[in-house]
Amino acid sequence: MGFTTYMIKKVLIYFSVLLATLTILYIFTFPILQEIIAKSINFQVAQFSQTLFKNAHSLNSTQIQIAVEKYRESLIAAYGLNQPIIDKYFIQMYNLIRFDFGTAYFLQAPSGSREVSSIIAYYLPNTILLFTTATIIFIVTGTIIGLLSAKSKFWEKVIAIIAVIHSSIPTWWLGFVLIAALAYAVKVFPPGGMTSVPPPKNPFDYGISVLYHMSLPLITIFIVNVGGFAYIVRSLVTSIMKEDFVITAKARGLPDSRILYRHVLRSASPSIATQAILALAGSLGGSLTTEVVFEWPGVGLLTYVAITLNDLPVILGITYVLTIVLLVGLFLGELVYGLLDPRIKVGE
Amino acid sequence: MSKRNVGFSSYLRDFLSSKIGLAGLIILIILLIFTGIAISIPAKVYASWNNPASWNQYPEHVPPAWLSIFYPNKYFTTEELSPINMSLYSPAKNIFVAVITYQFNWSKVLPAYNVYFITSTNVTPIEEVIYWSKPDGYTLQINVPNGVFNVPFDLTSIRGDILNYISSITGKTPNIVNSTVLSSALFNSPKSNFTITEQGKYVVKIEIVSSSPMNITKSGLLLLGNSYGLMGTDYFGRPLDLGVLLGLPNALEIGALTSLVAVLVGIFVGGISGYLGGNKDSAIQWLTLVFLALPALPFLVAVSFVTQPNLEIEALLIAFLSWPFYAIIARSMALSIKSNSFVEADKLLGIPSYRVFFTHFMPRLIPITVAYMALGVPAGILLAQTLAFLGIAPANIVTWGGILDAAETYQAQVNGWWWWVVFPGAMIVIVAIPFVLIGFAIERVTLGER
pLDDT one-digit tens code per residue, B265-283: 999 999 899 888 889 999 9
Nearest by Cα to B273 from B326, B334, B320, B364: B334
**Entry field: residues in chain A:** 348
CB proximity list for A88: less than 8 A, separation 6 or greater: A80, A81
For B305, name the nearest residue in chain A, comparing CA atoms only.
Answer: A32
Crossing angle, helix B19-40 and helix B240-276, to 10 degrees? 130
**Which of B292, B304, B411, B438 to probe by mutation at the A interface, max A CB count within 10 Å?**
B292
Please report the ipTM that was assigned to this predicted complex.
Answer: 0.84
Cβ–Cβ of B306/A183 closer than 8 Å? no
Backbone angles phi, psi at B126, to 5 degrees: -85, -40
Handedness of CA B409, B253, B447, B346 (dihedral sign): negative
Say yes or no to pLDDT of A150 above 80.
no
For A285, name the nearest residue in chain B, comparing CA atoms only.
Answer: B295
Identify the pLDDT of residue B254: 93
% of chain B exceeding 70 in pLDDT = 97
The widest CA-to-CA distance across chain A, in whole angstroms, is 99
pLDDT tens, residue by residue, A73-120:
888 887 777 778 888 888 888 888 888 888 888 888 888 888 899 999
Residue A318: its H or E element: helix A312-340
Identify the pLDDT of residue A347: 46
| Residues of chain A contacting residue B422, judged by C-beta atoms under 8 Å apart | 177
Confidence of residue B401 (pLDDT cuts 50, 70, 90): very high
Identify the pLDDT of residue B2: 42
Backbone angles phi, psi at B417, to 5 degrees: -85, 65
| Residues of chain A contacting residue B293, judged by C-beta atoms under 8 Å apart | 17-18, 21, 323, 326-327, 330
Distance between CA atoms of residues A274 and A5, nearest Å: 20
Identify the pLDDT of residue B74: 84
| Residues of chain A contacting residue B292, judged by C-beta atoms under 8 Å apart | 326, 330
Q: How many Å lie between the alpha carbon of A343 and the closest alpha carbon of chain B? A: 17
Distance between CA atoms of residues B127 and A347, nearest Å: 94
Backbone angles phi, psi at B395, to 5 degrees: -65, 155
Cβ–Cβ of B413/A24 closer than 8 Å? no
| Residues of chain B contacting residue A170, judged by C-beta atoms under 8 Å apart | 382, 385-386, 389, 425, 428
Say yes or no to pLDDT of A244 above 90.
no
Q: What is the DSSP letter of B145?
A: P
Distance between CA atoms of residues B445 and A1, nearest Å: 41
Identify the pLDDT of residue A285: 62
Residue B220: its H or E element: strand B216-224
Distance between CA atoms of residues A257 and A255, nearest Å: 6
Q: How many Å lie between the alpha carbon of A137 and the closest alpha carbon of chain B? A: 23
Neighbours of B277 (CB within 10 A): 12
Neighbours of B66 (CB within 10 A): 14
Peptide bond before residue A199 is cis, with ω within 30 degrees of 0: no
Q: Mean pLDDT lowest for which of A43-52, A54-63, B288-297?
A: A54-63
Contact B329, B270 (CB under 8 A): yes
Distance between CA atoms of residues B261 and A67, nearest Å: 55
Identify the pLDDT of residue A286: 59
Confidence of residue B310 (pLDDT cuts 50, 70, 90): confident
Q: What is the average pLDDT across B52-76?
A: 86
| Residues of chain B contacting residue A191, judged by C-beta atoms under 8 Å apart | 413-414
Q: How many Å lie between the alpha carbon of B123 and the closest alpha carbon of chain A? A: 46
Distance between CA atoms of residues B342 and B340, nearest Å: 6
Cβ–Cβ of A29/B303 closer than 8 Å? yes
CB proximity list for A320: less than 8 A, separation 6 or greater: A22, A25, A96, A101
CB proximity list for A31: less than 8 A, separation 6 or greater: B306
Q: How many Å lie between the alpha carbon of A13 and the closest alpha carbon of chain B? A: 8
For A322, name the nearest residue in chain B, comparing CA atoms only.
Answer: B295
Strands of B82-215 (E only): list them.
85-92, 95-106, 114-121, 127-133, 139-143, 153-154, 200-210
Compare CB distances from A177 to B20, B390, B422 and report the shortest one's residue: B422
DSSP symbols for B233-287? B-TT--BHHHHHHHHHHHHHHHHHHHHHHHHHHHHHHHHHHHHH-HHHHHHHHHH
Confidence of residue A343 (pLDDT cuts 50, 70, 90): low
A240 vs B449, more confident: A240
Compare CB distances from A167 to B375, B386, B408 and report the shortest one's residue: B375
Mean pLDDT of all residues in chain A? 84
For the ranges A59-68, A73-82, A251-260, B312-321, the maximum mean pLDDT occurs at B312-321
**Entry field: residues in chain B:** 450
Distance between CA atoms of residues B137 and B201, nearest Å: 10
Contact A71, A45 (CB under 8 A): yes
Q: How many Å lie between the alpha carbon of B375 and the closest alpha carbon of chain A? A: 8
Say yes or no to pLDDT of B423 above 60.
yes
For B383, name the nearest residue in chain A, comparing CA atoms only.
Answer: A170
**Which of B389, B405, B410, B415 to probe by mutation at the A interface, max A CB count within 10 Å?**
B389
Identify the pLDDT of residue A249: 83
Identify the pLDDT of residue B420: 93
Q: How far is CA A301 from CA A192, A290, A315, B283, B382, in A?
A: 12, 9, 11, 37, 19
Identify the pLDDT of residue B448: 59
Cβ–Cβ of B289/A164 closer than 8 Å? no
